[in-house]
Amino acid sequence: MNGWNRQKQDRDARLGAAATSASRKIVAADQAKALLEAVIRPGDRVCLEGDNQKQADFLAECLAAVDPQRIHDLHIVQSGLVLQAHIDLFEKGIARKLDFSYSGPQGAAIARALTGGRIELGAIHTYIELFARYFVDLTPHVALIAAVEADHAGNLYTGPNTEDTPTIVEATAFKSGIVIAQVNRIVDTLPRVDIPGDRVDFVIQVDRPFYVEPLFTRDPAAITETQILMAMMAIKGIYAEYGVTRLNHGIGFPTAAIELLLPTYGETLGLKGRIATHWALNPHPTLIPAIESGWVQQVHCFGSEVGMDNYMSARPDVFFTGHDGTLRSNRLLCQTAGLYACDMFIGSTLQVDLMGNSSTVTTGRIAGFGGAPNMGSDARGRRHPSPAWLKAGREAVDEPTTLTRGRKLVVQILETFGDKMTPNFVETLDAVAMAKDLHFELAPVMIYGDDVTHIVTEEGIANLLLCRGPGEREQAIRGVAGYTEVGRGRDPVAAEDLRRRGIIRRPEDLGIDLLAVSRQLLAARSIEDLARWSGGLYRPPSRFRNW
């Protein structure tokens, strides 16, 4: 091959090799493995659609079943590795190198594979970062994706869980790559066209729907009074004081508690219409009472959530829906909205150090970051003002000037101790030791401390914006770290001075009566309550149904 069309010639050769297993665009499921062995070459970059919810699970299993003598040393570039088949690729030698964002349930398996030398790690990315590299130096040779339906021309309908699909296809199809889609059904007419057929090379109808993880479902029954206390402090001490209207919530029970307190505790504070009106957020079921109570004006989603489809279709004034009436999600666009258009991110983590750096990478577990570093970073390219953004920026400097820039509010909300009474506050992140042991050039920090503006625990709120110098920052963090070793290392005199200056604020400083903290404050106290709030439109996954 020579000239300027080598990539196209390579594509034509791959399509020619596929002719024996695929005489046309529609391919039988029993020919899927043969198709993959025909179009994939050793050393290829392969994007196997593994989002943090939607999974091209059939194609993952087929890829894990190919002959390692024919297909090996693949470079996997995908946002989420959450299935066993994703790990099998590396265990069998089919794949060698990995660039990813999120691993969730496979975090321990990835750590073992890295330690055992079965994975060569490129990097743990944020979502936007990885998607951007698809168009620069991680462009896939082959993309394996999932959709709800296809027509006979290969046009795809992705339904509510569009997620990463448009980004993956765009990067692959317009650089002479091969795009293969597994679909639940092949139909004559689609509800809408999400991916044009001229970008799709092969379609495989599978005898089961692609897997979707209910990642953002939190059962209100599991919310504790400690988490309710933290939520009350956040609402009164941060949301209300900064007038936060545009925001993102991370996954976790403390943020679920906030969502369920808006129509109750938030109402008593007179905050309706003043906070939490516009969201970049997956369709959290715990947001239903706030939507039904008129708190929420608009939500744009990274992906869908199992059981929420009918509810979102019935609330088009709130959610982004197509003319067919179903949600249109888009992870890249929603991540960008969270980075640039939101004034606050609030989420949890597994470890926080003395400067506020945080990570979900702990000893023996590499869970990845997903979108938290995008949501939880101050976008220095932002140029539009808002009251919350400007107030945070002015607090961060001694003498505001006409050129003082604003700041995104980046809040870490977590209890001082986690599972099995493991301290969530540490002198040094486990990620630092892991980077040394595995020879990473960069320690896997999720959110850097210089982006964090507030830390909320059951002990109170530490406003890091008001700290002047690393010494005050350390004492502010120690001051809300409770009875962890970090917390016990506080200087009582310094902590009291920070409290006097409003840098550390205890519940009583915010006028919160500890005796008033109760699960009765939650607008819904069970999954059944959420379904009732929705008028029966929310259909919870079976594992959450207990009535």
Per-residue pLDDT tens digits for 242-293: 999 999 999 899 999 999 999 999 999 999 999 999 999 999 999 999 999 9
Whole-number Å distance between alpha carbons of 421 and 94: 39
Q: What is the pLDDT at residue 544?
A: 87
Tell me, yes or no, whether 329 lies in a domain: yes
Residues 183 and 268 in one domain: no
3-state secondary structure of 395: helix
Tell me, yes or no, whether 542 lies in a domain: no
Tell me, yes or no, whether 12 lies in a domain: no
Residues 413-439: pLDDT tens digits?
999 999 889 999 999 999 999 999 989
Measured torsion, CA atoms of residues 300, 302, 306, 310, in degrees rounded to the nearest 10: 30
Residues 230 and 162 in one domain: no
Whole-number Å distance between alpha carbons of 146 and 164: 10
Whether the predicted pLDDT of 38 surpasses 60: yes
- Give the sign of the dihedral formed by CA 281, CA 284, CA 286, CA 287: positive
Structure tokens at 260: 């369920």
The rounded percent of the chain whose pLDDT value lies above 90 is 92
Which of 158, 191, 212 marks a domain boundary? 212
Exposure letters 500-520 (e unless 16+ CB within 10 A, then b):
eeebbbebeebebeeeebeee
State the pLDDT confidence band at 162, using cuts at 50, 70 and 90: very high
Which of 186, 212, 238 marks a domain boundary? 212
Tell me, yes or no, whether 400 lies in a domain: yes
Structure tokens at 342: 């939101």
Whether the predicted pLDDT of 547 surpasses 80: no
Residues 304 and 396 in one domain: yes
Residue 273: half-sphere exposure toward Cβ, Cα within 13 Å? 1
pTM beyond cutoff 0.85:
yes
Residues 287 and 257 in one domain: yes
Q: What is the pLDDT at residue 199?
A: 98
Query: 542 or 423: whose pLDDT is higher?
Result: 423
Residues 3-21: pLDDT tens digits?
899 999 999 999 999 987 7
Residues 170 and 232 in one domain: no
Answer whether 212's CB lies under 8 Å from 161's CB.
Answer: yes
Q: What is the pLDDT at residue 52?
A: 80
Angle at 11 between CA 31 and CA 64, to 5 degrees: 40
Q: What is the pLDDT at residue 105?
A: 87
Answer whether 343's CB lies under 8 Å from 409's CB.
Answer: yes
3-state secondary structure of 421: helix
Residues 189 and 236 in one domain: no
Structure tokens at 520: 């009765």
Residues 416 and 492 in one domain: yes
Please state the rounded mean pLDDT for residues 444-463. 97
Answer whether 241's CB lies under 8 Å from 265's CB.
Answer: no
- Give the sign of the dihedral formed by CA 435, CA 436, CA 438, CA 440: positive
Which strands, in side-by-side order, build the sheet including 409-413?
298-300, 278-280, 246-249, 344-347, 409-413, 454-457, 460-463, 504-505
Select from 251, 260, 322 the least CA-distant residue to 287. 260
Tell me, yes or no, whether 113 lies in a domain: yes
User: What pairs with residue 435 in β-bridges?
Assistant: none
Tell me, yes or no, whether 185 lies in a domain: yes
Residues 282 and 401 in one domain: yes
Residues 352 and 469 in one domain: yes
Whose tokens are 């700041």? That residue is 407
Please state the rounded mean pLDDT for residues 226-233. 98
Whether the predicted pLDDT of 543 surpasses 90: no
Residues 204 and 311 in one domain: no
3-state secondary structure of 319: strand
Please state the rounded mean pLDDT for residues 105-134. 94
Whether the predicted pLDDT of 2 surpasses 90: no
Tell me, yes or no, whether 543 lies in a domain: no
Whether the predicted pLDDT of 1 surpasses 60: no
Residues 91 and 176 in one domain: yes
Structural domain range at position 432 = 220-527
Whether the predicted pLDDT of 312 surpasses 70: yes
Which of 169, 186, 212 marks a domain boundary? 212
Angle at 176 between CA 172 and CA 182, to 5 degrees: 50
Tell me, yes or no, whether 539 lies in a domain: no
State the pLDDT confidence band at 175, using cuts at 50, 70 and 90: very high
Say which CATH number the domain at 423 has.
3.40.1080.10
Q: In the chain, how many domains are there?
A: 2
Q: What is the pLDDT at residue 20?
A: 79
Residues 308 and 454 in one domain: yes
